Structure 1
């Protein structure tokens, strides 16, 4: 027993993973003062200065250079601080805590379900507006149910699962850089007309680096009841969604619970035609609660599975 404890304690990466989750749950950072919020505001200010061309090719070039201008210095600073840190474990833990956003997502899910159950459309729009790029003014109760479900799916997928995946592969620096890249893709989302070309670099980069963890998480969600039907629906519908990683994740949740997700959305007064995925049931409060519960359960399984894999790999090394 003592030998097992010593092996566990010597696995610093695994201890940092669990410590990061614990610190994040006990001492959550407010979204208003979170580093990602400041980063996203700076990205918008930068885009206002350089996203001035109406020619698509020039806008793509400007967006690519702006992305490099944001990410490369951050990478250099993160690596340099890591080399200078007196306590490497504390530095890794800090970056992991900054990258995670589990508790805020969990709190949003609970508050949003309660609001939908009261049919308080106004408060529902207030809750979800800071988390999405789309316009909420014209959303009905059904539209809020869809938007809330999609927000929970993407938040758990990106701000927890993908962050932990990249932490497992590259440590705190990789997890933090991934989260910052996600925030850039959100700030410069091509779904909004002014970023349709400018934001392509940011979006495609995130689509590439989150492909594997998103699809692995989708397969984890698929496991259990309705697994075969869910896999068949992924094969049929995933190719119609614009991003390959989120496509699997969105379809898997929708198919698992037979919920209708996707459909048209309005971004800056422009209607975007998105395909419908999943089942046929329009999400209401009880269905959003089911989405929230399903995602939480699968996230606990992900943490357990990653802990076991990290323990085996690091012990093997």
Structure 2
């Protein structure tokens, strides 16, 4: 019996089934943020940056230090997982567990729901504090509209990167690639060049992630645009073509604006410095009620991805 299970564990359909189960578990039973392993990489990134990222260093040195720091934190984890997988008799199970941990967007729904409830009660200051874990921008001076817009932008960008992109990379390149990508996302969050102290240190990592996520982001943007109106989406994207947004993010936010029929994006403050970015979409600004609409829209995309995978599995046996 055990030998038969081991044989099944190396079959295509078994791996596909475990992938679907991992996605379903991440969708309906997400691991609380406090139990996520990525916090360890975040702490490691902070400690490394304190040692090697100095304001007195030249821009070239900081870029090189950022590259080496990324390799130091990523390579041991990726190589270690490859070795662990080779030693395991259940590699497909390990892969599914890695995918489950990588799809850590479940906390966003709860956080945005909490923000919506706070705004409905008129607790703007509390809503600003609740938004902070989702964004790097300064939130202390945001208006109610600013909080809603920032929350909705973070929602779609986080789902596109931490959900859609991770699933696509996992399906094409495997669990090791998905794990590596997820670690890179965490390092990028800690060393984001939008923060002045990391404008050079995190530049290499930002450019790498833009390249790695370009096709998945464009694909998700296209799928979303086809559902809500491709023509209008392209009009919004062209109107915001001033260089302030990379093409994949600009198309995604344009499709998101068409989904909500509300304006997305815009200028933001990072460490008391204003980053000028184009507003995308119609003139109508989002309201508190749009948070619930956005959550439903993202849930529908998650369900569609899972049903597509299930259909492929059923067709295989059909």
| TM-score for the superposition, normalised by structure 1 | 0.89
The 4+ residue runs of structure 1 with deviation greater than 6 A are none
Distance change (3 Å), C-alpha of 1:309 and 1:209 = farther
Write out per-residue CA displacement over residues 179-199 of structure 1, whole angstroms, 9 at most, x where no aligned residue: 111111111000000011110
How far residue 238 of structure 1 moved from its aligned partner, in angstroms, is 5.1
Looking at structure 1, the residues matched to 303 and 237 of structure 2 have their Cα atoms a distance apart, in angstroms, of 23
Looking at structure 2, the residues matched to 15 and 303 of structure 1 have their Cα atoms a distance apart, in angstroms, of 11
Distance change (3 Å), C-alpha of 1:50 and 1:10 = closer
Does structure 2 retain, via aligned residues, the 8 Å contact 1:99–1:179? yes
Does structure 1 retain, via aligned residues, the 8 Å contact 2:239–2:280? no
Aligned pair partner of 2:31 in 29, 48, 60: 29
Q: Secondary structure at the match of 1:224?
A: helix
Does structure 2 retain, via aligned residues, the 8 Å contact 1:20–1:93? yes
How far residue 116 of structure 1 moved from its aligned partner, in angstroms, is 2.5
1:113 matched to 2:123: no
Does structure 1 retain, via aligned residues, the 8 Å contact 2:105–2:162? yes
- Structure 1, 278-287 or 219-228: larger mean CA deviation: 219-228
1:269 matched to 2:269: no
How far residue 217 of structure 1 moved from its aligned partner, in angstroms, is 1.0
How far residue 143 of structure 1 moved from its aligned partner, in angstroms, is 0.9
Q: Secondary structure at the match of 1:266?
A: strand
Partner of 1:96: 99
Partner of 1:152: 155
How far residue 158 of structure 1 moved from its aligned partner, in angstroms, is 1.4
Q: How many residues align structurally?
A: 307
How far residue 166 of structure 1 moved from its aligned partner, in angstroms, is 0.9
How far residue 310 of structure 1 moved from its aligned partner, in angstroms, is 7.4
| TM-score for the superposition, normalised by structure 2 | 0.89
Q: Secondary structure at the match of 1:271?
A: strand
Partner of 1:3: none
How far residue 105 of structure 1 moved from its aligned partner, in angstroms, is 2.1
Write out per-residue CA displacement over residues 260-307 of structure 1, whole angstroms, 9 at most, x where no aligned residue: 222221112222222211221211111222222222212322333355
How far residue 14 of structure 1 moved from its aligned partner, in angstroms, is 1.7
Partner of 2:189: 186
Looking at structure 2, the residues matched to 196 and 27 of structure 1 have their Cα atoms a distance apart, in angstroms, of 37
Q: How does 1:1-317 map to 2 (within 5 A)?
A: 11-25=13-27, 27-52=29-54, 53-237=56-240, 240-308=243-311
How far residue 135 of structure 1 moved from its aligned partner, in angstroms, is 1.3
C-alpha RMSD of matched pairs (Å): 2.3
Q: Structure 2 regions of 5+ residues with no counterpart?
A: 1-7
Does structure 2 retain, via aligned residues, the 8 Å contact 1:207–1:244? no
